[in-house]
Amino acid sequence: MQVIVDNLPVLLQGLGLTLEYSAVAIVLMIIFGLIFALMRISKIWILRGVSTVYVEIFRSTPLLVQLFFIVLGLPGVIPLNEWFGPRNYPILAAALTLALNEGAYVTEIIRAGIQGVDRGQKEAAASIGMTGFQTMRYIVLPQAFKRMIPPLVNQAAQTIKDTSLLAPVSVVDLVYKGEIVIAATYAGFQIWSVVALLYFIVIFIVSKVAAYLERRLQVDKR
């Protein structure tokens, strides 16, 4: 028990870093998701094509492999470490890779949200003389947004868990701090228990928020 109390500050510091990476990745994944989703429903085939290739590549390979490839593999052929600095590049690249990976799923969530709005809603908007932009702005997006919130919150929870994969590419987070503490104390059982519990608490709060939003934001108000 003493080993936990002694090392809790270090682990909480790691949790703080994990939450920072999570926040950055969640903001970026929504930006990427929105851009690529609009590309995916575009009438211009090249935009659709680029978006489809992006989504397929990031969804069809493991995140850990993507991280190894971009953080550790790419600097072998491109002098990225020199350009960005050997300390900065791994962190920047890891955060960006995580955001791109999660963004691929968010692209699908947003696309499905927009396309899930009943066609009759768009026809009704057209029938009162709305332009395509007005229809998107006043009718489709407000309905799509409510539909998208629960899956987006779930994806955010997934992103928080996926930050644990940053440790293997030497980004300091909760898992990384845990490994350091264990290397010094050999208290693997106690420390991994605390690490798991800390993740659990964070994710539990997030999924409670998701459940609450799901109840509150049904598309058809009652």
Partner 1 sequence: MISVKDLHKSFGENEVLKGISNHVEEQEVVVVIGPSGSGKSTFLRCLNGLEKATSGVIEIAGMELTNPKTKLHELQQNVGMVFQQFNLFKHLSILENITIGPRKVLKQSKEESNAAARELLKKVGLTGKENNYPDELSGGQQQRVAIARALAMKPKVMLFDEPTSALDPEMVGEVLQVMKDLAREGMTMVVVTHEMGFAREMGDRVIFMDDGYIVEEGTPSDIFTNAQEERTKSFLAKIL
Q: Spell out the alpha helix ranges (H) of 60-87.
A: 63-67, 80-84
Residue 151 tokens, joined: 């899956």
Rounded CA separation 4/7 (Å):
5
Residue (of 123, 117, 207) closest to 160 by Cα position: 207
Considering only 15, 146, 159, 171, the residue that binds partner 1 (CB under 8 A) is: 146
- Binding to partner 1 by residue 25, rule CB under 8 A? no
- Binding to partner 1 by residue 221, rule CB under 8 A? yes
Considering only 77, 128, 183, 215, the residue that binds partner 1 (CB under 8 A) is: 128
Considering only 3, 74, 92, 126, the residue that binds partner 1 (CB under 8 A) is: 126
- Binding to partner 1 by residue 143, rule CB under 8 A? yes
Tell me the backbone φ, ψ of residue 131, rounded to 5 degrees: -80, 170
- Binding to partner 1 by residue 215, rule CB under 8 A? no
Residue positions counted in the chain: 222
Rounded CA separation 77/88 (Å):
18
- Of 3-11, 89-97, 107-115, 116-124, the window that binds partner 1 (rule: CB under 8 A) is 116-124
What is the nearest approach in angstroms of partner 1 to the Cβ of residue 121?
6
What is the nearest approach in angstroms of partner 1 to the Cβ of residue 134?
6
First CA to last CA distance, the chain: 51
Q: Which is nearer to partner 1, 131 or 170 (CB)?
A: 131
Considering only 93, 114, 139, 175, the residue that binds partner 1 (CB under 8 A) is: 139
Do the beta carbons of residue 103 and residue 36 sit within 8 Å?
yes
- Binding to partner 1 by residue 20, rule CB under 8 A? no
Do the beta carbons of residue 143 and residue 219 sit within 8 Å?
yes
What is the nearest approach in angstroms of partner 1 to the Cβ of residue 53?
29
The residue type at 126: A
Kindly list the residues in this chain that would bind partner 1 in the complex (CB under 8 A): 118, 120-121, 123-131, 134, 138-139, 142-143, 146, 219-222
